């Protein structure tokens, strides 16, 4: 049997790369910026395959992938950048398995480079409380901001999910929010009493004022009765952080990081946190276990009598 029988010639491989990028764009709904990063990584990998005359791809490409990562290291790429390349290749090879181009995923055996990811910025419980108490509840915009920040933290939402929450997506009586996440995948996340109270207050007191006799299916409204932009909400958060005296660099994603980390610190299991965050792959959620471990280590080092 020809040992190269399961290989694909380069023109076919180029076509599969195009199909994969199309899949990421249409079915997964990734942003143009993310698509661009994936395209660059795959182009670099194809160049490596050309230069090393591998002739195509195979189920036995584990060594090829490792050599590629080693070559990237020699070129001076950081562990974080090499990890991003590996994430791209893992997704591509999984796609090839799903398309039945190959039967076995060779990338599954390759580990991420050490120190590949910096730990995400996480707010302490006290800092979260400072941010939640920062909006001026005497102003309609302040009541809106308070509800948005509470929901952002209560459900671990992405900012793109938060700004497009519709009126029918939140059920404060039952205590949940329905979220349309990446790739148009829907998930339902519970919310607590504080978020329910702030959302009810916003709907009762402030939303009609912000609508100004207009109609909108979206819950959180900015100028002209339209949803706030991501950049607009980010500016709002930065202002509240500054007013609260918090020096950390705070973004909307900081609340998502904090949501996951605080749940794990409190004893939540990883699968539950994965479901609430809407991660397709649990390996994406696992980074938060590192945050929780760092927190516990800090507590131990600070408080244990024989530290």
SS3 188: strand
E-strand stretches of the chain: 170-171, 176-180, 186-190
279 is catalytic: yes
Q: Is 235 a catalytic residue?
A: no
Catalytic residue among 28, 166, 253, 290: 253
211: tokens are 């609508």
Active-site residue (options: 44, 73, 166, 182): 182
Catalytic residue among 68, 84, 90, 158: 158
According to DSSP, the residues that pair with 166 across neighbouring strands are: 218
Catalytic residue among 68, 256, 257, 262: 256
242 is catalytic: no
> Is residue 249 annotated as part of the catalytic site, yes or no?
no
Structure-token pair, residue 88: 């791209």
Does the annotation mark 202 as catalytic?
Answer: no
In this structure, are residues 37 and 84 in contact, taking their beta carbons and an 8 Å threshold? yes
From the candidates 7, 84, 90, 279, give the one annotated as an active-site residue: 279
Burial class (CB in 10 A: 0-12, 13-18, 19+), 101: middle
For the question of residue 22 being annotated catalytic, the response is no
Straight-line distance from the first to the last Cα atom of the chain, in angstroms, rounded to the nearest whole number: 63
**Which residues are CB-contacts of 153 (< 8 A; sequence separation ≥ 6)?**
128, 132, 195, 255, 258, 259
Residue numbers annotated as active site? 158, 182, 253, 256, 279, 288
């Amino acid at each position: 049997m020809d040992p190269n029988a399961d290989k694909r010639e380069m023109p076919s491989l180029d076509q599969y790369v195009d199909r994969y990028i199309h899949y990421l764009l249409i079915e997964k709904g990734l942003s143009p910026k993310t698509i661009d990063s994936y395209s660059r990584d795959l182009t670099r990998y194809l160049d490596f395959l050309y230069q090393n005359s591998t002739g195509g791809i195979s189920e036995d490409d584990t060594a090829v992938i490792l050599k590629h990562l080693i070559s990237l290291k020699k070129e001076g790429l950081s562990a974080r950048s090499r990890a991003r390349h590996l994430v791209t290749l893992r997704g591509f090879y999984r796609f090839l398995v799903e398309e039945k181009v190959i039967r076995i995923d060779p990338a599954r055996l390759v580990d991420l480079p050490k120190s590949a990811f910096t730990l995400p910025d996480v707010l302490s419980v006290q800092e979260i409380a400072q941010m939640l108490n920062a909006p001026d509840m005497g102003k309609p915009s302040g009541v809106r901001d308070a509800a948005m920040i509470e929901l952002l933290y209560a459900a671990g939402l992405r900012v793109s999910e938060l700004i497009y929450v519709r009126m029918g997506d939140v059920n404060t009586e039952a205590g949940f929010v329905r979220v349309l996440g990446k790739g148009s995948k829907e998930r339902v996340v519970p919310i607590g009493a504080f978020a329910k109270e702030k959302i009810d207050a916003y709907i009762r007191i402030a939303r009609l004022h912000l609508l100004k006799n207009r109609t909108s299916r979206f819950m959180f409204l900015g100028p002209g009765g339209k949803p706030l932009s991501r950049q607009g909400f980010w500016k709002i958060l930065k202002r509240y952080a500054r007013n609260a005296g918090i020096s950390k660099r705070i973004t909307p994603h900081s609340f998502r990081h904090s949501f996951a980390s605080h749940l794990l610190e409190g004893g939540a299991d990883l699968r539950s946190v994965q479901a609430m965050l809407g991660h397709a792959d649990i390996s994406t959620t696992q980074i938060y276990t590192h945050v929780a471990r760092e927190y516990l280590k800090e507590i131990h080092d600070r408080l244990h009598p024989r530290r």
